[in-house]
Amino acid sequence: MKNITNNIFIIATITCALFISATQPKPKPKPAEKKIEAKPSPALSTKNQYVEIETVYGNMVLKLYNETPLHRDNFISLIKNGFYDSLIFHRVIKNFMIQGGDPVSKYAPEGTPIGGGEVGYRIPEEMYPTLIHKRGALAAARDNNPQKASSGCQFYIVDGKKYNGIDLENLRNGMNYNMKNKLLQDIMATDSVKNKVDDYVARGDKNGLHTYILSLQPRVDEIYNTMEMKFTPFQRSVYTSIGGAPNLDMNYTVFGELVEGFNVLDSIASVKTGAMDRPLNDVRMKIKLLK
């Protein structure tokens, strides 16, 4: 019953939105984005590489995963070149994550918005169900590119929070609702469906449009049944014991984890922040490789 109610609400909302937007000017399409491939990485190593992030609050030691060689080797290369030295954690959200690695942040005056700086390439995603956003996870930031390719330089460390069983189930239901909504919108964006929708809107046939959108639901359900988000026993165990950010799983590449310095993570996550979650007092970093 609940799924049917949610589906009807989604359809009714989209139907109304189409009629409201019909009189609005159409936005210009964005130009196609050039895809930039990351550099190839050497063969997988059996020994893990560890790195240390120095801050005014103390040091954090992180282990890099060999399961994500593209991200591992890119991170190592940037560290060797001193790329991260004097950059700041420019976005900090308590109980969520601390983010850094924007090259613009090195000289950005206090109060300046940060977050758009890059190195000119992306890294193909390396996501695995077992590499999750537990507390202390090291992951790559990214924009909304459909390939889910990672930023070449920006990263975050998960602060997160603990969940109980009910919280996890509510989170799962919300994520699935949003996914089903997006699936319907993606289908409606196809040329064949869009042409029919435009025809209903042009004729002012709101009831006909509603019925037509309702007829698309079986197609949405068919796709949804192959994509429905479910937490594994492993995820449930981790997120109810040490916590993390489960809503990010399989959306961003996790390529390492914090092994020492959780107190430092907590201190940075607790600093006062201003616009765009930038700390009021810069938290600079220096990263080095550990042998």
Rounded Cα gap, residues 39 and 71, in angstroms: 10
- Please tell me the predicted confidence (pLDDT) of residue 111: 76
Per-residue pLDDT, 225: 92
All domains of the chain, ordered by start, with CATH? 2-21+171-227 (no CATH), 50-164+231-290 (2.40.100.10)
Rg (CA), the chain: 22
Span 145-169, pLDDT tens digits: 999 999 999 999 999 999 999 999 9
Instruction: Give me the pLDDT at residue 41, please.
Output: 40
What local confidence, expressed as pLDDT, does residue 110 receive?
81
Position 31 scores a pLDDT of 41
**pLDDT at res. 12:** 54
Residue numbers of the chain with a pLDDT score lower than 50? 1-5, 20, 22-43
Whether the predicted model's global pTM rises above the 0.75 cut: yes
Q: Please name the residue that has the structure tokens 């420019």.
A: 90
Q: State the pLDDT at residue 101.
A: 98
Integer Cα distance of 118 and 208 in angstroms: 47
